Structure 1
Amino acid sequence: MSDQLIGGGWLQAASSSDAIFTVEQFEPDHEAMFDTARRFCDEQVWPLQAEIEAKKEGVMAGLMDQASELGLTMLDIPEAYDGLELPMPVSMRVLENTAREQSMMLSLMVQNGIGSLPVVLFGNEEQKQAWLPAFASGDKRGCYCLTEPGSGSDALAAASTAVLSDDGKQWILNGTKQFITNAGFADVGFVFAKVVGDVEGATGFSCFIVPLDTAGVTLGAEEDKLGIKGSSTRQVIMDKAQIPRANVLGQIGRGHVIAFNILNNGRYKLGGTALGSAKFAFDAALEYAQQRKQFGKQIADFGMIKRKTGQMVADIFAVESGIYRAVGDMDADSQSRGNDAAAKLASMQNYAMECSILKIAGSELLAGVADESLQMFGGYGFLEEYPAAKYVRDARIARIYEGTNEINRIVMPRTLLKKISSGEIELTVVEGDESITQMKNSFAVCFNAARSHYGDSKGFDRNQEVMANLADMMTAIYLAESATLRVAQMNNTKQVHADSVALVTLQSVAKVNQLAGELADHLQVEVPP
């Protein structure tokens, strides 16, 4: 397998990256799909934002029905079950184009991801036949029930239980699930609970298909949230809820495999949709700056505003480059394995580290762009009648759900350690004066020093500050290299592209040097200049 199809292989300083996937490679028929998604959101969704935020009865459900009619709820479902089964970059770009109104975007992202893919990736044939055609058509909607009031990031500490009935025909579920997106209009939940007792030689954390009209299943009130107010977020409460024994998804005691792999899907999709929202926030601010006049000229012409717009353009370009590079690699990896459910699962496992990078990079890009967008609007940005306030409110959740950015920063070095231990990746220092090579060399020294200091066992990640520095170095390197490789492939490079790469690389080098310096002091190693 080439470096390109090994998740994290790009960290090897001696690796030679082949051509990467970029958005310039989409075909005209793909562009037509993106335009359909964007026009739907511009023409049908955005004008209803007040009704969406007020949770007016039937509005979101009606928009979801319209989205289904346009094929926007069948993006990743296999063709054998009436879905489109789009290539991963195409599916991602469709969702990106729905991101102007983030409550609607989130509802669609869940339907195309964590609210249906558990069956795609882990369901048996009977379960796939029962649910996937209905998910594709929009006749049925799913939700993902993992978080609980007492277990968020520590998902395996869930208190919900599942007990087999005395006659062995039913599962009896008890427990409460918290912050469940789409619960208000979902038909089924993928519920994680601990099997009590030994069933067929297995026990423990497992996943169940739970129709939400099951006796004993109730919903809490809609949460009053800071942002994404129009998305349904409710508790799912189970009190002696009985479901058929056949409703186990995957294997008893293997629920963690489903939970964490489905989260990988949610992470990269969150990164891509956050990118889309950042673009919409930027466009709104730029349009305002070109119309607003102070001191006799457009504020877009003032130096500080130019600096803001230039930084946002460069950041958006880099994150977009990284997102579609990773999604393109995942798709190529899946295709090379046969592109069935097992292949797609293996690909997401292979690129788990990149999924975390995309989640962090996309959500933090959106936070920065939304904030600067509001600043460019000035006092008007603080008013709800202008779009900037909504973008800021809606952006805040992106750094929390699908695994907090802090958790993802711990996941990344830990995942890399596993790949190194298995022999997939080797981090060494090589000769070279290019900026990307120098950053990779610095990372290799710091990571290997962390291994020497903390060992290769479970205690490797006990110093979270060290993990955060390593993760941030990885993200900076990945985005800078992705932007560089993208420009190298462009047929019609514009000055803005070259300038974006130059700025991103310069800032990435400075960031990596700072992080490496902090680690060098702590780990008592010398980092190459």
Structure 2
Amino acid sequence: MSDTHGGAFLDPAQAPGPTFTPEDFSAEDRALFDTARRFCDEQVWPRLADIEAKTPGVLEGLMQQASELGLTMLDLPEQYGGLDLPLPVSMRVLESTGREQSFMLTLMVQNGIGSLPVALFGTDAQKAAWLPGFASGQLRGCYCLTEPGSGSDALAARTTAVLDGDAWVLNGTKQFITNAGIADVGFVFAKVLGEVDGQTGFSCFIVPFDAPGMSLGAEEHKLGMYGSSTRQVILQDARIPRDHVLGQIGRGHVIAFNILNNGRYKLGGTALGSAKCALDAALDYAVGRKQFGQRIADFGMIRRKIGQAAADIYAVESAIYRAGGAIDALANAGGRTGEAKLAALQDFALECSIAKIAGSELLARVADEALQMFGGYGFLEEYPAAKYLRDARIARIYEGTNEINRIVMPRTLLKKLSGGELGLAGSSTDSALASLKLAHARCFSAALEKHGSGKGFDADQELMAHLADMMTAIYLAESTALRVARHPHCQPVHEDVALLVLTQAAAQVAQLAAEAATHLGIAAPSVVRPAADVMALRQRIAAHVVDAGRCAL
């Protein structure tokens, strides 16, 4: 079944298995989402000016209120005060806070990279010491990986750790650390100099922010996300206890990259939530604004934007919750232990990258089109469109740039092929979706024949990006089709969305495959393209959305 393991959706010989969709959420789940949404609407959004001005105590106060509602304990184990929610449920809670992106980011970090390293890699003693505080909101964490000279090349970090008796001494500077200004503890990556217990190298440390030698740089002045805290973390002979090593010495890369899988997945989902809010704000404006004697929401060029954005949102939503359900199912099959959750995230690393790329680029498109729908007013800060556009820009950079993720995806698939986890063999077909998989498979195989599996494969970066974009288009189209096929209350608009997404995915894959084939010196793979009236599909989707007054389908 295609969702048993990550990447298997690309295997032309495998049929899709059971798929989680947003329609599977229970009434109890939806009540939790409503709580998060109401909190953002009633408590967070009215404090927008104070949040963006970084008025002292405001963000911390809102985080404490969120903790009292259970919003800082979503993924942590129950034995330490957490809720241990299924991954799709915790993702939907965070997505529901997408209206104000600075607060959303702060909350996402607290529920992800700012606490999960201990939950997934800590000893029993470390979990008991730290997790109850993270769950209750009494402690806030941050993730200290990036340095001034090492961004995407994280393993080139220059921060060092030396064992001095019963204490570690850390020296170095961490850059762009989200939540640093409100954090109590950081997960700091450093290179252990000299063997300790027979080990050395890149490692992770739990560093309390009140440790001697710990300090913070000034708040960064950013293009967007004004309200979130972003500062340097500076370690000058910072001393922490010997037992504050997280995981194994020399195995920090295992923590760094696996925690990023969770971060990438959640970033995709929160970007989806913000895209919905941006489109809904533009819809409200377009319905109320009149030009030439009619609502601008009734003009064809505006409806084109609305219909396309709504379809794109539905496709990304389908893909993200399909992936979350599959990750959660694999973790459950392994007993839902920390090790099982970690293994499931690692298994679905490819889908986590898809979520990150698809969600962040969706938000960029929707935020830009939303501002365009506001016209000149969109360029004014007193209207919400400008903020959505500013805040959206960072999503394509953090948690691994989209460029890095496009290189990671083919490399991840290659490892699965080499390990015999899946194959890319298949025969010709009249199915549009199957033909997309075969086109990708042919290009991928030709890339391996040309470059082998070594450095040459990674070095052809534009080809890697083409392969990654084919994967993303296939996953979104198939996820949308699977969701619509099992929708309990399927309407014609859902079928229109599925056909639009598939038609546009086929056009995209056909172009990418043709360009890749020319580059590789092979004949262009055949792609079955549905004969659909794309403009009519968009118009019908837009009409449904405008009548409903919101982007949800």
Q: Please give the range of the TM-score, normalised by the shorter of the 2 chains.
A: over 0.9
What are the equivalent positions in structure 2 for 1:60-71 lying under 5 Å apart?
Answer: 60-71=59-70
Residue 454 of structure 1 is matched in structure 2 by 451
1:498 is aligned to 2:495: yes
Measure, in 2, the Cα distance between the counterparts of 1:527 and 1:202: 50
Residue 275 of structure 2 is matched in structure 1 by 278
What are the equivalent positions in structure 2 for 1:480-499 lying under 5 Å apart?
Answer: 480-499=477-496
The amino acid that maps onto 2:476 is L
Residue 306 of structure 1 is matched in structure 2 by 303
The amino acid that maps onto 1:343 is A
What are the equivalent positions in structure 2 for 1:240-389 lying under 5 Å apart?
Answer: 240-389=237-386
SS in 1 for 2:3: helix
The amino acid that maps onto 1:81 is Y
Measure, in 1, the Cα distance between the counterparts of 2:472 and 2:73: 31
Measure, in 2, the Cα distance between the counterparts of 1:324 and 1:491: 16
The amino acid that maps onto 1:36 is T
SS in 2 for 1:5: coil
Cα shift at 1:3: 3.0
Measure, in 2, the Cα distance between the counterparts of 1:343 and 1:460: 31
Measure, in 2, the Cα distance between the counterparts of 1:242 and 1:250: 18
1:414 is aligned to 2:411: yes
The correspondence for 1:204, drawn from 201, 206, 218, is 201
> Is contact 1:160-1:194 (8 Å) kept?
yes
> Is contact 1:64-1:108 (8 Å) kept?
yes
> Is contact 1:19-1:489 (8 Å) kept?
no
Cα shift at 1:493: 1.1
What are the equivalent positions in structure 2 for 1:100-249 lying under 5 Å apart?
Answer: 100-165=99-164, 168-249=165-246
1:85 is aligned to 2:84: yes
CA offset digits 1:7-53 (Å, max 9, x no partner):
00010111111221000010000000000000000000001111101
Measure, in 2, the Cα distance between the counterparts of 1:469 and 1:30: 38
> Is contact 1:19-1:485 (8 Å) kept?
no
What are the equivalent positions in structure 2 for 1:506-525 lying under 5 Å apart?
Answer: 506-525=503-522
Measure, in 1, the Cα distance between the counterparts of 2:10 and 2:180: 40
1:393 is aligned to 2:373: no
Decide which moves more: 458-467 or 137-146. Answer: 458-467
Cα shift at 1:459: 3.0
Residue 39 of structure 2 is matched in structure 1 by 40
The amino acid that maps onto 1:119 is V
The correspondence for 2:523, drawn from 516, 521, 526, is 526
The amino acid that maps onto 1:206 is S
Measure, in 2, the Cα distance between the counterparts of 1:171 and 1:350: 33
CA offset digits 1:74-105 (Å, max 9, x no partner):
00000010100000000000000011000000
Cα shift at 1:408: 0.2
SS in 1 for 2:331: helix
> Is contact 2:517-2:525 (8 Å) kept?
no
Measure, in 2, the Cα distance between the counterparts of 1:154 and 1:163: 22
Measure, in 1, the Cα distance between the counterparts of 2:300 and 2:401: 35
**TM-score between the two structures when normalised by the length of structure 2:** 0.95
Decide which moves more: 10-19 or 208-217. Answer: 10-19
Measure, in 2, the Cα distance between the counterparts of 1:456 and 1:407: 18
| Residue identity (%) | 69
Measure, in 1, the Cα distance between the counterparts of 2:331 and 2:143: 24
Cα shift at 1:217: 0.3
> Is contact 1:445-1:527 (8 Å) kept?
no
Cα shift at 1:525: 1.2
Measure, in 2, the Cα distance between the counterparts of 1:375 and 1:35: 29
Cα shift at 1:328: 0.3
> Is contact 2:514-2:525 (8 Å) kept?
no
CA offset digits 1:444-499 (Å, max 9, x no partner):
00000000011012332111000000000000000000000000001211222111
The amino acid that maps onto 1:139 is Q
- Alignment size in residue pairs: 526
> Is contact 2:4-2:17 (8 Å) kept?
no
Measure, in 1, the Cα distance between the counterparts of 2:511 and 2:348: 27
The amino acid that maps onto 1:128 is K
CA offset digits 1:418-457 (Å, max 9, x no partner):
0000000111132321111000000000000000011012
SS in 2 for 1:359: helix
> Is contact 1:191-1:209 (8 Å) kept?
yes
1:424 is aligned to 2:421: yes
Residue 403 of structure 1 is matched in structure 2 by 400
Runs in 1 of length 4+ with deviation above 2 angstroms? none
SS in 2 for 1:153: coil
Measure, in 2, the Cα distance between the counterparts of 1:326 and 1:4: 8
Residue 71 of structure 2 is matched in structure 1 by 72
Measure, in 2, the Cα distance between the counterparts of 1:376 and 1:528: 39
Residue 18 of structure 2 is matched in structure 1 by 19
Superposition CA RMSD, Å: 0.6
SS in 2 for 1:3: coil
SS in 2 for 1:6: coil
The amino acid that maps onto 1:21 is F
Measure, in 1, the Cα distance between the counterparts of 2:464 and 2:55: 44
Residue 50 of structure 1 is matched in structure 2 by 49
The amino acid that maps onto 1:443 is H
Residue 99 of structure 1 is matched in structure 2 by 98
The amino acid that maps onto 1:145 is C
Measure, in 1, the Cα distance between the counterparts of 2:36 and 2:363: 20
The amino acid that maps onto 2:114 is G
CA offset digits 1:242-267 (Å, max 9, x no partner):
10110000000000000000000000
Cα shift at 1:526: 1.9
Measure, in 2, the Cα distance between the counterparts of 1:3 and 1:98: 31
CA offset digits 1:327-359 (Å, max 9, x no partner):
000000100111100000000000000000000
Cα shift at 1:154: 0.2
Measure, in 2, the Cα distance between the counterparts of 1:447 and 1:429: 13
CA offset digits 1:384-442 (Å, max 9, x no partner):
00000000000000000000000000000000000000000111132321111000000
The correspondence for 2:433, drawn from 433, 436, 441, is 436
Measure, in 1, the Cα distance between the counterparts of 2:430 and 2:122: 50
The amino acid that maps onto 1:142 is G
Residue 3 of structure 2 is matched in structure 1 by 4
SS in 1 for 2:239: strand
Q: Unaligned regions of 5+ residues in structure 1, if any? A: none
Residue 466 of structure 1 is matched in structure 2 by 463
**TM-score between the two structures when normalised by the length of structure 1:** 0.99
Measure, in 2, the Cα distance between the counterparts of 1:246 and 1:215: 16
Q: Unaligned regions of 5+ residues in structure 2, if any? A: 527-553
